[in-house]
Amino acid sequence: MNTGRVILLGAGPGDLDLLTRKAVSALLRADVLLLDELVDPAIAELAPKARVLRVGKRGGCRSTPQDFIQRLMRRHALQGRTVVRVKGGEALLFGRAGEEIAFLEAAGIEVELVNGISAGLAAAASLGMSLTHREHCHGVSFVTAHAHDGGRPDWRALAAARTTLVIYMGMQRIGEVAAALGEHLPAATPAAVVQWASTPRERRLVATLGTLAAEAREAGFGSPAVILVGDAVGLARAQPAAASLPRPRHVRN
């Protein structure tokens, strides 16, 4: 039997209308579909011949071990199947894709990459702001507050870079993140949180670095959410903390 392949696919932040045509084509070819925790289960409707396996991974919750997921992909691919590993957001951004690529290629398995829209980009779109507004920043920095080794980012260096900060996996330590950045940035620095970006459950909060953590906790914001900090965030659309943005659900034929 010929060796199959694995497709690492970014499913975007939740709205299935944001899937690319390339992603839909990959789903149609799938024999096995491995779905992350935050992926809309309805995506399986776009993979009609696939066996669907839930391999949830979510911070602070019981998760499918990474080693098990990798061995599962290898086993099905070596049996000649097309395996589509569906990740929320962008597959190559904080999704452990590097580990999976190395593991699979070491086994002689072809890996295809299909990009998706990251939650950080969807959050910025929901806020109606540019992450790289040239009058307010020098660029954008994507950073995780949940380091693999238990450490924390170099907040001083990130603050000094004058970029818009897009912080993933930071809600469980939002107070710590805000306090650490507050040592290097003014308390009045614009900041925001967008939870469940692009989905019907979306909520957004626009505040300042000094008030962000308290306002987010008071309004009940939690994961999955993206934190944005920087002068460019000052151009975000103001919205009451508890507001939800109604969005059309994915229309299926």
Active site residues: 36, 57, 169
Rounded Cα gap, residues 113 and 252, in angstroms: 25
Rounded Cα gap, residues 81 and 5, in angstroms: 7
Q: Which residues contact 115 (CB under 8 A, 6 or more apart)?
A: 10, 20, 90, 91, 92
Which residues make beta-bridge pairs with 227? Answer: 167, 193
CB atoms within 10 A of CB 147: 11
H-helix segments, 54-154: 66-78, 97-106, 119-127
H-helix segments, the chain: 21-29, 66-78, 97-106, 119-127, 155-160, 174-182, 212-219
CA-based max dimension of the chain: 62
Whole-angstrom CA distances from 236 to 103, 152, 190, 199 are 41, 27, 9, 18
Give the β-pairing of 190-195 and 225-229: antiparallel
